[in-house]
Chains A and B, each alone.
Chain A
């Protein structure tokens, strides 16, 4: 992999990570809104708090990944500008890119799990027998 390719990969990863971070922030804002106004009493505060914490963790992970990507990108930018593409740590930096990609995939999975459900357009009513009322 050439330096240009590494740089392109990093820039792509950075763009995608920023999208994920913005998405997670939006969803977190919505979740906090629900908690504040108690619009969804079917969901307990404990459950909501855990979901919000998950988003906080996801955003922190994305922020760290973006910072790491930017650092690598800056380093390569300097190297490219100085005209010395034979940087000895190319393999290590490619490893960093792989780690970032792995983080991104993990973040994507977390977001997919916590994204708001699609709106309802139909459904059914399940009927189950209740135990006799207590006297």
Chain B
């Protein structure tokens, strides 16, 4: 994916699957926990639509690589809880640098 430029936003959608790779259900009564490996690069905010499996990330003014992860509860019954963590591809965050510009003239 292209560089994640400062101030831009990305949508991170967690797509749970079962052991066969098919779509699966999580227990949302325990809130999914979202995290950024380097939180100085990307800040996360909940999805405005209220979907617990979606977060909106905003790139900060710093350059580096990081990942976004989501941990959710897949425990469907009594017994040992089974937390599952899925992680995004590496997000390369960059602050845009100047590559050109113009000078405008104005009579005073």
Total A-B Cβ pairs within 8 A: 104
Contact indicator B56/A126 (Cβ below 8 Å): no
Select one of A39, A116, A120, A128 contacting B16, CB under 8 A: A120
Query: Is B102 close to A, CB under 8 A?
Result: no
Q: Which of B10, B16, B76 has the most CB of A within 10 A?
A: B16
Chain A interface residue bracket vs B? 20 to 34
Within 8 A of A (CB), among B50-98: 50-53, 56, 58, 68-70, 72, 74-76, 82, 84, 86-89, 91
Chain B interface residue bracket vs A? 35 or more
User: How far apart are B76's CB and chain A's nearest CB, in angstroms?
Assistant: 5
Query: Is A40 close to B, CB under 8 A?
Result: yes
Residue of A nearest to B68 (CB): A125
Contact indicator A124/B76 (Cβ below 8 Å): no
Report B's interface with A, CB cutoff 8 A: 1, 8-19, 21-26, 28-29, 50-53, 56, 58, 68-70, 72, 74-76, 82, 84, 86-89, 91
List, in ascending order, chain B residues with CB within 8 A of A127's CB.
Answer: 1, 10-13, 68, 88-89, 91
Contact indicator B18/A118 (Cβ below 8 Å): yes
Query: Is A89 close to B, CB under 8 A?
Result: no
25 A-B residue contacts at CB 8 Å?
A37-B29, A39-B28, A41-B52, A42-B52, A117-B25, A119-B74, A119-B82, A120-B17, A120-B24, A120-B25, A120-B72, A121-B17, A121-B18, A121-B24, A122-B84, A123-B14, A124-B86, A125-B15, A125-B70, A127-B1, A127-B10, A127-B12, A128-B10, A130-B8, A133-B9
